[in-house]
Amino acid sequence: MARIFITGSADGLGQLAARLLVQQGHQVVLHARSPERAREALAAVPGVETAVSGDLSTLAGMRSVANQVNQLGRFEAIIHNAGIGYREPRRGNTADGLPPVLAVNSLAPYVLTCLIQQPARLVYLSSGLHRDGDASLQDLTWEKRPWNGYQAYADSKLHDVLLAFAVARQWPDVLANALEPGWVATKMGGPGAPDSLAQAPVTQAWLAASDETAARVSGQYFYHQRLRAFHPQAADAALQDQFLASCAELTGVAFPPASSPGLPQ
């Protein structure tokens, strides 16, 4: 059985994936943005190993989560599930002066990928809206563009695919994939979302732990356990490297070489 860490698993799809993996007999560590939410998450998902806490909208919070996870030892898989939606009426600022959508959806998966000891598998949650993302990677912080919450979200979900594919290419011993769970009735998706909530957590759990040949791939994009077309520019190695470089500049965290374990920060 595998040991799996899931970001953003106090509720929503992260919690559903955790429940599914625990039912399958895996060891699961949860994540919530605060100690109080972490305690609530532990109560909501019986059988998990523990929960860590940290605000992924801040660089300090990202480093704290990475440090806590590294102190727990190595994980076979990490599911980068944490994310916020696109109904932000204005750009907003985190403690680091960044748009929260960029910080949580784009930079947190990057920083945690860099700082947590490399697992055997990495799973990144994207969205079908990533196909509307801006592949120019210009003005990631929205300092020049007029704010558009929908576009910022779409951009961030494209970033997740770029990150997954970059990791798959740079770290050949790690299985790294991205997926879209569908538009489902979570807190983020809203009550009118049409896709199956029961199916929504299945693919990320499958990619994190299944021994099926179809799940043991890398650099792929999935929907409901099937390969799906993605933004064509996401496969561009130069664009992937440009994104990694932008993340390194914004966070001060360099992307490590293959088989270089993350260190507590």
The residues annotated as belonging to the active site are 153, 157
Spatial distance between the Cα atoms of 130 and 132, rounded to a whole number of angstroms: 5
Share of the chain residues as helix, strand and coil, in percent rounded to the nearest 5: 40, 10, 45
Query: Environment class of residue 46 by beta-carbon count within 10 Å: exposed (0-12), middle (13-18) or buried (19+)?
Result: exposed
Asked whether the beta carbons of 159 and 106 are under 8 A apart, the reply is yes
Count of alpha carbons within 13 angstroms of residue 118, beta-carbon side: 17
- Among residues 220, 234, 88, the alpha carbon closest in space to that of 157 is found at 234
